[in-house]
Amino acid sequence: MYLYNSATHKKEEFKTHTPGRVEMYTCGPTVYHFAHIGNLRSYIMEDVLEKYLRFAGYDVNRVMNITDVGHLSSDADTGEDKMLKGAKRENKTVMDIAKFYTDAFFDDCRKLNIKTPDVVQPATGCIDEYIKIISKLVDTGYAYLAGGNVYFDSSKLERYYIFNDHDEEDLAVGVREGVEEDSNKRNKNDFVLWFTKSKFEDQALKWDSPWGVGYPGWHIECSGISMKYNGEYLDLHCGGVDNAFPHHTNEIAQSESYLGHPWCPHWFHVHHLNDPAGKMSKSKGEFLTVSLLEEKGYDPLAYRWFCLQSHYRKTLVFSWENLDNAAAAYTKLLNRIAALKPEGDVDTAVFDEYREKFLQQVGNDLNTSMAVTAVFDALKAKTNDATKLAIIGEFDKVLSMSLLEKAAALREKAAQAVQSGGGDYVITGEGDPEIDAKVLARYEAKKARNFAEADRIRDELKAQGIEVTDVKGGASWKRI
């Protein structure tokens, strides 16, 4: 497999520390509010990546943190703690907020067919790990105490910036433009490893430490959690592109200074989902969540399909029109699959040929648009329906669009309508499930006002010698 590596700025062959095994870490949510669909784009693409690696034969150990402490409203260690902000907003405890929004996040993931990682660890559960790492960083001179807090000393590094290039003079004393100055810092890019009661004294969660009662900074949690569950050598670190700096930059700094050797060679960053006005966020415009999509009548998997049609390293623009187009395409695909007969033997030679082609295409920097194309290629393959269904089912191990399950439900719905003679739409004909499914697909397309698709199905049936007549409450068909 070849993946673009954000750390080297090029596409390169993906290799692991232990052959055949992938130690994978993905930055999880800060659970102070619902995840918006821009956040969830990253998790969808990371899910596809994990499933592709398993599909390709790797043994994957995927770890994810849940940030329930330490993430301030500014990534530069200033402002209010996001968890405390959420608790104040809803007049609840921080832990109540954390549980509610953690559950909500995984409920959204379930609706989007996102697999739960092998390990999910709340940040509050690894305080001892953070203290161990910070203590060594202090002892070895990579960290210092100032104003009651513990800071990482970025000037000790030969190279601080990993994902973007800056001059060394940028490490001079000061702070990023537009950010409130922290006078305790020796250098511009120093960051907090541990806060004590000397700052943010209304912080709800605090622990004893060698430096006083306080709480960890945001960046230390991912290093501590990954080292605990992935070991000292991480193969693949994932996250949204907005995490690259400073969060992932700081993770590398503290982890490699602690370990004394390279930590993670490969970094996978998913680009933004924008609305037409710019980057999507919780603070502007309509708060777009999975629940809102459902309220507006969309299957959440239509949004997953929308994401899969674009490459993860391209900014994706969301609009309701774009989502409508994706939903219509997904419905059309399901109807085409439903028209296949699940009968006969699978041609293993054809199956293996298409599987290998899929491996090669999608393995080129997780090219999900080619994966989508591969499904349509399978539908057009010169083979029987049983083989087509087997190929599509194999591809869906990576895509996770519930293609066979939803198509089977459509097929069953058509069969029941014919058998019972009841329901909202009754099809009468000569008892051919394939033709019944196509007639039903034509009806569903017309109901969705996708008249182009309805006409296409009508013409396809006509070419097969099938005449369809619309009648009250349904349709009848006959061979001519």
Helix, strand, coil percent values for the chain (each to nearest 5): 45, 20, 35
Whose structure tokens read 């402490």?
Answer: 69
Question: 283 Cβ partners below 8 Å, 6+ apart?
Answer: none
d(Cα 246, Cα 191) in Å, to the nearest integer? 9
Higher pLDDT, 340 or 43: 43
Same domain assignment for residues 183 and 227 = yes
Range of the domain at 250: 2-270
Q: What is the pLDDT of residues 310-352, one digit of tens each?
A: 999 999 999 999 999 999 999 989 989 988 888 889 999 999 9
Same domain assignment for residues 387 and 469 = no
- Does residue 284 form part of some domain? no
Counting every residue written for the chain, the total comes to: 480
Same domain assignment for residues 44 and 152 = yes
On average, the pLDDT of the chain sits at: 89
Domain count along the chain: 3
Same domain assignment for residues 334 and 221 = no
Same domain assignment for residues 109 and 221 = yes
The amino acid at 154: S
Same domain assignment for residues 332 and 423 = no
The dihedrals phi and psi of 419, each to the nearest 5 degrees, come to -70, -40
Please tell me the pTM assigned to this model.
0.85
Mean pLDDT value across residues 454-479? 86
pLDDT band at 426 (very low <50, low <70, confident <90, very high): confident
pLDDT band at 74 (very low <50, low <70, confident <90, very high): low
CA-wise closest residue to 439 among 465, 463, 469, 409:
469
- Does residue 40 form part of some domain? yes
Number of neighbouring beta carbons within 10 Å of residue 79: 14
Q: How much is the pLDDT for 176?
A: 37
Q: What is the pLDDT of residues 138-189, one digit of tens each?
A: 999 999 999 989 999 999 999 999 998 544 443 333 333 344 568 889 999 9
How many alpha carbons lie under 13 Å from residue 138 in its C-beta half-sphere? Answer: 18
Q: Give the CA angle between residues 92, 96, 102 to the nearest 5°.
A: 130
CA 17 vs. chain centroid, Å, equals 24
Same domain assignment for residues 164 and 254 = yes
Q: What is the pLDDT of residues 253-293, one digit of tens each?
A: 999 999 999 999 999 999 999 887 766 666 555 689 999 99
**pLDDT greater than 90 at residue 300:** yes
- Does residue 289 form part of some domain? no
Parallel/antiparallel/unpaired status of strands 21-26 and 236-240:
parallel
Which of 387, 404, 421 lies at the terminal end of a domain, its last residue? 404
- Does residue 281 form part of some domain? no
Give the domain CATH number at 61.
Answer: 3.40.50.620
- Does residue 278 form part of some domain? no
Same domain assignment for residues 345 and 204 = no
Q: 240 pairs with which residues across the strands?
A: 270
Same domain assignment for residues 395 and 475 = no
Residue 339: exposed, middle, or buried by beta-carbon count in 10 A (0-12, 13-18, 19+)? buried
Least confident of 45-49, 315-319, 445-449: 445-449
Which of 404, 437, 467 lies at the terminal end of a domain, its last residue? 404
Q: 65 pairs with which residues across the strands?
A: 121
d(Cα 354, Cα 336) in Å, to the nearest integer? 19
- Provide long-range contacts, Cβ within 8 A and 24+ apart, for 94-100: 94/68, 94/69, 94/204, 94/205, 95/68, 97/31, 97/32, 98/31, 98/32, 98/66, 98/68, 98/122, 98/124
Same domain assignment for residues 248 and 100 = yes
Helix (H) or strand (E) holding 274: strand 273-275
Same domain assignment for residues 242 and 318 = no
d(Cα 423, Cα 231) in Å, to the nearest integer? 57
Which of 404, 423, 443 lies at the terminal end of a domain, its last residue? 404
Give the domain CATH number at 311.
Answer: 1.20.120.1910
- Does residue 42 form part of some domain? yes
d(Cα 175, Cα 190) in Å, to the nearest integer? 9
- Does residue 369 form part of some domain? yes
Same domain assignment for residues 117 and 228 = yes
Q: What is the pLDDT of residues 198-246, one digit of tens each?
A: 666 677 789 999 999 999 999 999 999 999 999 999 999 999 999 999 9
Q: What percent of the chain has pLDDT over 90?
A: 68
- Does residue 282 form part of some domain? no
